Amino acid sequence: MEIAVYSAKPYDREYLEAANATMGHRLQYFDAGLDGETVALASGHGAVCIFVNDKADADVLEALALGGTKLIALRCTGFNNVDLNAARNLGLKVVRVVDYSPNSVAEHAVALLMAINRKIHRAYNRTRDCNFALDGLMGFDVAGKTVAVVGTGKIGRVFAKIMLGFGADVIGYDTFPSPEFEALGARYAVPGEIGASADIISLHCPLTPDTYHIIDATMLSRAKRGALLINTSRGALVDTEAVIDALRSGQLGGLAIDVYEQEAGVFFRDLSNTIINDDTLLRLMSFPNVIVTGHQAFLTREAVTTICQTTLQSVTEFETGQPLSNEVKAP
Ligand code: NAD
């Protein structure tokens, strides 16, 4: 099948080509992201392959359908950037990668937590300058602390398991509690308890209208003073301005994020020779107790191999009229 691959990075090309060796699709790569200006590139392609910040709103989907596209294949888990109702009305099928490597994201969340807690980012810069002073590098033991996991799905459960291995007390919040989470030795708590008792909060729920700004000024004001917040899920789970206020007052002890509310147009690019116009992001990155990574939690060999294989397998299923194992539909 002809597939237009948007937002194609060198690693996407390498791993998609490897996965396609046995599948025989015809892939055309575009550096550009999908939006109203670039949608014409997909004309004549039966399938369009997109990533987290590509914009598949109603207008873009309509243009895709008019150009002959029948399938939207997300090479990621989250699908908040696709208007599923519009896709259904236009007869477009949407597939995603439901399950690749929850370890990749959970382990990155742990890396962020340990880096922000033990000030690894600051120590790295200091020792490169032969500054071996320890002032300002004090952290805390994770063992014995309370870790809150918001969203106890695949990634949240792996994160919880690692935290239990550290000797932490793990509590969780999920609108659909899972017995697997409790079987790990963790327990569910109400949001009030999470705010009051968590030393560390890690977000692992999807972005939906219900979870938009789930971390806002009210929630932060009720949090334990000095708590650490980790977000590897979606940027808009967090009200960034409220977080900046909480960091300024010391209410929030540290923030480590792999995702950012306004990351589209900034993340996945080398802007080192550019003046960035996003004052909020610049303010955020000016705090010594903030670490930002550019949406790289999924970026392990294992995860990207599975993402590419699953994505192309879904295209094959569609092309050959098989049931779509990874279809996502409007609720
Ligand atoms: P999952 O579907 O297995 O788990 C998500 C969990 O969140 C579910 O248990 C669900 O019930 C819960 N949930 C839904 N609404 C909720 C709410 N209002 N409050 C609390 N919990 C709620 O998904 P997953 O594979 O664990 O992925 C979780 C998220 O991680 C994805 O939605 C995606 O946004 C993010 N993600 C990020 C990266 C990255 O590279 N940074 C990569 C993959 C996934």
pLDDT in tens, the chain (331 residues): 999 999 999 999 999 999 999 999 999 999 999 999 999 999 999 999 999 999 999 999 999 999 999 999 999 988 999 999 999 999 999 999 988 889 999 999 999 999 999 999 999 999 999 999 999 999 999 999 999 999 999 999 999 999 999 999 999 999 999 999 999 999 999 988 888 899 999 999 999 999 999 999 999 999 999 999 999 999 999 999 999 999 999 999 999 999 999 998 899 999 999 999 999 999 999 999 999 999 999 999 999 999 999 999 999 999 999 999 999 999 8
Counted domains in the chain? 2
Task: Write down the H helix ranges in 97-153.
Answer: 102-118, 120-128
Helices first, then strands: H and E counts in the chain: 12, 12
> Is residue 326 one of the residues assigned to a domain?
no
Tokens found for residue 88: 């259904």
> Is residue 310 one of the residues assigned to a domain?
yes
CA distances (Å), 68 to each of 39, 47, 167, 196, 324, in order? 12, 9, 54, 53, 19
CA distances (Å), 107 to each of 35, 139, 280, 301, in order? 32, 19, 27, 13
The answer to whether residues 211 and 239 touch, using CB atoms and an 8 Å cutoff, is: no
- 8: domain CATH number is 3.40.50.720
Find the 320 Cα to ligand 1 centroid distance in Å. 30
**pTM of the entire structure?**
0.92
pLDDT at residue 2 in the model: 98
| Greatest alpha-carbon span in the chain | 64
- Contact residues for 229 (Cβ-Cβ < 8 A; gap 6+): 200, 201, 202, 203, 215, 238, 243, 252, 254, 255, 256
Q: How far apart are CA 159 and CA 204, in angstroms?
A: 9
Find the 151 Cα to ligand 1 centroid distance in Å. 6
Q: Are residues 28 and 171 in the same domain?
A: no
Report the first-to-last Cα separation within the chain, whole angstroms: 28
* Residue 206 CA, closest ligand 1 atom number: 32
pLDDT at residue 28 in the model: 98
For the annotated catalytic residues, the residue numbers are 234, 263, 295
Q: What is the full DSSP assignment across 156-173?
A: HHHHHHHHHHTT-EEEEE
Q: Are residues 116 and 35 in the same domain?
A: no
pLDDT at residue 191 in the model: 84
Q: Are residues 85 and 115 in the same domain?
A: no
> Is residue 327 one of the residues assigned to a domain?
no
Find the 121 Cα to ligand 1 centroid distance in Å. 27
Q: Are residues 92 and 110 in the same domain?
A: no
* Residue 233 CA, closest ligand 1 atom number: 35
Among 46, 38, 35, residue whose Cα is nearest residue 3 = 46
Angle 184-187-192 from CA coordinates, rounded to 5°: 150
- Contact residues for 57 (Cβ-Cβ < 8 A; gap 6+): 83, 86
Q: Are residues 17 and 120 in the same domain?
A: no
Q: Are residues 188 and 82 in the same domain?
A: no
Q: Are residues 116 and 31 in the same domain?
A: no
CA 165 to chain centre: 24
Strand duo 169-173 + 187-188: pairing:
parallel
> Is residue 324 one of the residues assigned to a domain?
no
* Dihedrals phi, psi of 220, to nearest 5 degrees: -65, -35
Find the 175 Cα to ligand 1 centroid distance in Å. 11
Q: Which of 74, 75, 103, 105 to mutate to test the pocket of ligand 1 (most atoms within 8 A of CB)?
A: 105
* Residue 152 CA, closest ligand 1 atom number: 9
Q: Are residues 176 and 252 in the same domain?
A: yes
pLDDT at residue 160 in the model: 98
Q: Are residues 123 and 229 in the same domain?
A: yes
Q: How far apart are CA 257 and CA 268, in angstroms?
A: 15
Q: Are residues 84 and 148 in the same domain?
A: no
The answer to whether residues 243 and 217 touch, using CB atoms and an 8 Å cutoff, is: no
Pocket of ligand 1 (CB under 6 A): 77-78, 102, 105, 150-156, 173-176, 204-208, 210-211, 232-234, 258-259, 295, 297-298
> Is residue 325 one of the residues assigned to a domain?
no
* Domain membership of residue 133 as a residue range: 102-292
> Is residue 152 one of the residues assigned to a domain?
yes
> Is residue 42 one of the residues assigned to a domain?
yes
Q: What is the full DSSP assignment across 280-305?
A: HHHHHHTSTTEEE--S-TT-SHHHHH
Q: Are residues 155 and 82 in the same domain?
A: no
Q: Report the chain's C-alpha Rg in angstroms.
A: 21
Q: Are residues 89 and 186 in the same domain?
A: no
Q: How far apart are CA 70 and CA 318, in angstroms?
A: 9
